[in-house]
């Protein structure tokens, strides 16, 4: 097929934002593809890593064949541990910053993950036609899966099922100590000890390891042989039936069976053990009759345990593409058209003022710096004023820098959306702690997306001008009322809080026009609270209700700040709704302080009481200094 035809075919994509670049970069070869839809990989190409001085030249060589295609998102699987932005490869003298590579290639999104994390992520989606089963055993549903892959090194990982999908293990299990199972393997270990004081499993169960086994067995058998590489050893065994090469291959497969059994009992991998990498699939059907499965089950008292666990060879080409594509898809999930915040900044850049464009340029060039630095440093680096940074954020539809950073962090790191998970009686303290936090964060994010900004504007205006504010709340909501009383009193607004239903109506009858009642209730149905709100309205006061949008209290209020998180307070102790109510109090407080017109009212009130005007900014921690 001509290159132009490949590009034209690759440009037809099911993704709204165009094809996605995928790569599986090992120590020896790098495999590339353009993903044009779910499980659709086109323009697959394999390059030799030795031909390149670094990862950017490698990527540019592949992309040079597709210069007419606009790429926004990419994901790379690398044969290396990945932690943070900087990657220093173990089996090559390459090192790079993920963010610098992203900028160099003009991408909006670049993920770099461990290659066996990607391979592990592909396992749940593999079909029987993608696999060759070796031996007996059947996978148990909803069980842990293990994966090993001998190639230039030995990759090891696992997949753990959860209620929300699958979690992969970022393992470096190939670096465990090699354990010989018989006298021959002990001789091989002694041979390796002559070179390395620590011999890991990867040293022997890998391509270079096969070459060590060949030399060690030749020495043990008293033979003088020329060195062969792994491919030549495999060809000598499978094609030429050379006795020494056959012994090497049998020994290699037995060692792999032992390592696989160790992984199986460590993980409790009743979902199966999968063999990937570049070596075993090339052995074809011979591997099924090799010593692998016999050694896998040779576990003494645990032989029956292991006989029930199936083992498979992954035969589909480039399986890591499926895994890395899944990880990238999860990364982009939930965005409209997979449109990142970086794209929004780029698309709107020409509509900004010249000063705001300098902030946009800084965001595009150094996103992580903008994410981590305070407003003063961002303004200094962009050579603009601090108010310009705020105007830039508001031009993009955010309330300020903090709101921009919150969404920008999610866009940049691609965190999978937090989900609600039910706490179970059997949960450990670690698990229940994580679930309580995740459930609260999930509710806050949903609450943020459903906020009625117009109602908030009205409420802020009422509170800022109020001559007096009184909080009416009972039960769990009293904590929120006390928090509000403390905050608004600091603005020098006369404030009181009542939690006794008998005092509600009495207090409401003393109110006047210009006063404000903030009524807080989960249900919004308490008769005493409703009577007090009616009395307050009759006296000329305004009422801000923090409650369910469909409640009787909401219908009686001047303004309703809706909290529609569902909690059965008759059966359960209300928790999350209290957090959301407190957030509304915080929003009102910050709104008073940042709004120019309302701030003047606060300043006038404080100046009349001998309080220095500048001290108002010390009251709200959300404000930049």
Query: What is the per-residue pLDDT for 441?
Result: 81
Looking at residue 568, its pLDDT comes to 55
- Both tokens assigned to 550: 């469909």
Query: pLDDT per residue over 4-26, tens digit each?
Result: 444 444 444 556 678 899 999 98
Residue 207 pLDDT: 92
Residue 437: per-residue pLDDT: 81
Among 209, 212, 214, 295, smallest CA distance to 253 is for: 295
Is residue 544 over pLDDT 90? yes
**Does 566 or 299 have the greater pLDDT score?**
299
Average pLDDT over residues 439-461: 82
Tell me the pLDDT tens digit for each residue of 301-318. 999 999 999 999 999 888
Q: How far apart are CA 264 and CA 140, in angstroms?
A: 13
Closest CA to 524 of 566, 496, 487: 566
Above 90 in pLDDT, residue 265? Answer: yes
Residue 428 has a pLDDT of 66
Concatenated DSSP letters of 532-579: HHHHHHHTT-EEEEEE-TTSHHHHHSSEEEE------TTTS---HHHH
Confidence class for position 416, pLDDT limits 50, 70, 90? very low
The label of the residue with tokens 């508001």 reads: 394
- CA 134 to CA 254: how far, in whole Å? 13
Statement: residue 564 has pLDDT above 70: yes
Q: How is residue 38 written in tokens? A: 């779910």
- How far apart CA 44 and CA 421 sit, in angstroms, is 39
Q: Is the pLDDT of residue 197 over 70?
A: yes
Q: Average pLDDT, whole number, for the chain?
A: 84
Of the pLDDT bands very low, low, confident and very high (cuts 50, 70, 90), residue 337 is very low
Q: How confident is the model at residue 367 (pLDDT cuts 50, 70, 90)?
A: confident
pLDDT of 597: 43
Strands (E) across 242-375 are located at: 273-275, 311-314
**The pLDDT of residue 614:** 45
Alpha-carbon gap, residue 182 to 161, rounded angstroms:
36
Neighbours of 390 (CB within 10 A): 20
Q: What's the angle, vertex CA 274, arms to CA 136 and CA 256, rounded to 5? A: 85
pLDDT of residue 625: 46
Is 0.75 surpassed by the pTM of this model?
Answer: no
pLDDT greater than 60 at residue 249:
yes
User: Which of the four pLDDT bands, split at 50, 70 and 90, describes residue 596?
Assistant: very low
In terms of Cα–Cα distance, which of 222, 279, 274, 273 is closest to 253?
279
Higher-confidence residue of 617 and 581: namely 581
Report pLDDT for 291: 96
Q: What is the mean pLDDT of residues 53-65?
A: 94
**344 in Cβ contact with 94 (< 8 Å):** no
pLDDT over 80 at 539, yes or no: yes
**Residue 93's pLDDT band (cuts 50, 70, 90):** confident
What residue ranges in 26-177 does DSSP mark as E strands? 29-37, 40-48, 73-78, 86-88, 95-97, 109-114, 131-134, 145-150, 154-162, 165-168
* Mean pLDDT, residues 599-621: 49
pLDDT of residue 413: 47
The strand pairing partners of 469, in sequence order, are 495, 516
Give the integer Cα–Cα distance in Å for 60 and 38.
24
DSSP 139-176: PPTT--EEEEEESSSEEEEEEEEETTEEEE----GGGS
Per-residue pLDDT band for 464 (boundaries 50, 70, 90) equals confident
496: left (phi over 0), alpha (psi -120 to 50) or beta: beta
Q: What are phi and psi of 308, to 5 degrees?
A: -85, -10
pLDDT single digits (tens) 159-192: 888 765 677 887 888 899 999 999 999 999 999 9
Looking at 120-129, 139-148, 242-251, 523-532, which range is the least confident one? 120-129
């Amino acid at each position: 097929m001509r290159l132009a035809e490949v590009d034209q075919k690759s440009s037809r994509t099911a993704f709204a934002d165009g094809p996605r670049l995928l790569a599986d970069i090992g120590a020896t070869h790098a495999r590339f593809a353009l993903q044009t839809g779910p499980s659709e990989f086109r323009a697959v190409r394999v390059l030799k890593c030795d031909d390149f001085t670094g990862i950017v030249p490698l990527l540019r060589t592949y992309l040079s064949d597709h210069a007419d295609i606009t790429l926004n998102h990419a994901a790379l699987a690398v044969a290396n541990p990945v932690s943070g932005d900087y990657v220093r490869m173990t089996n090559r003298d390459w090192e790079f910053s993920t963010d610098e590579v992203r900028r160099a290639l003009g991408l909006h999104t670049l993920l770099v993950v461990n290659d066996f994390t990607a391979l592990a992520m592909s396992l749940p989606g593999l079909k029987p036609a993608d696999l060759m089963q070796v031996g007996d055993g059947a996978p148990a549903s909803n069980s842990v899966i293990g994966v090993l892959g001998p190639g230039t090194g030995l990759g090891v990982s696992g997949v753990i099922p959860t209620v929300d999908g699958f979690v992969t293990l970022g393992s470096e299990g190939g670096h465990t100590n090699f354990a010989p199972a018989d006298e021959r393997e002990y001789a091989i270990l002694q041979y390796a000890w002559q070179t390395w004081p620590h011999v890991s499993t990867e040293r022997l169960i890998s391509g270079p390891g096969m070459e060590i086994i060949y030399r060690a067995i030749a020495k043990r058998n008293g033979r003088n042989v020329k060195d062969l590489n792994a491919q030549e050893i495999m060809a000598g065994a499978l094609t030429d039936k050379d006795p020494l090469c056959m012994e090497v291959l049998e020994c290699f497969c037995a060692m792999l069976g032992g390592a696989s059994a160790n992984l199986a009992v460590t993980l409790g991998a009743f979902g199966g053990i999968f063999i990937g990498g570049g070596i075993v699939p090339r052995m074809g059907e011979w591997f099924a009759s090799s010593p692998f499965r016999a050694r896998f089950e040779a576990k003494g008292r645990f032989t029956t345990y292991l006989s029930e666990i199936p083992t498979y060879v992954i035969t589909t080409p480039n399986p890591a593409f499926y895994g890395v594509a899944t990880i990238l898809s999860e990364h982009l999930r939930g965005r409209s058209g997979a449109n990142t915040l970086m794209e929004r900044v780029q698309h709107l850049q020409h509509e900004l003022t010249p000063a705001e464009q300098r902030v946009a340029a800084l965001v595009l060039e150094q996103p992580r710096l903008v994410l981590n630095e305070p407003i003063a440093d961002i303004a200094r680096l962009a050579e603009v004023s601090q108010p310009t940074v705020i105007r830039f954020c508001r031009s993009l539809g955010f309330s300020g820098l903090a709101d921009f950073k919150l969404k920008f962090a999610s866009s940049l790191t691609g965190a999978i959306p937090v989900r609600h998970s039910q706490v179970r009686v059997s949960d450990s303290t670690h698990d229940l702690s994580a679930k309580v936090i995740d459930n609260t964060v999930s509710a806050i994010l949903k609450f943020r997306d459903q906020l009625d900004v117009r109602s908030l504007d009205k409420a802020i205006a009422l509170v800022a001008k109020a001559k007096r504010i009184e909080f009416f709340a009972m039960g769990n909501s009293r904590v929120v009322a006390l928090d509000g009383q403390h905050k608004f009193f600091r603005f020098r607004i006369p404030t009181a809080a009542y939690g006794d239903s008998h005092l509600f109506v009495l207090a409401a009858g003393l109110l006047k026009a210009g006063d404000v009642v903030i009524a807080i209730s989960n249900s919004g149905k308490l008769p005493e609270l409703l009577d007090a709100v009616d009395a307050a309205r009759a006296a000329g006061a305004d009422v801000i209700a923090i409650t369910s949008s469909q409640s009787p209290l909401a219908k009686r209020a001047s303004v309703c700040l809706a909290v529609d998180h569902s909690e059965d307070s008759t059966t359960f102790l209300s928790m999350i709704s209290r957090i959301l109510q407190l957030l509304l109090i915080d929003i009102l407080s910050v709104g008073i302080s940042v709004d120019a017109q309302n701030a003047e009212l606060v300043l006038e009130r404080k100046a009349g009481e001998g309080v220095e005007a500048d001290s108002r900014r010390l009251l709200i921690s959300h404000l930049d200094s």
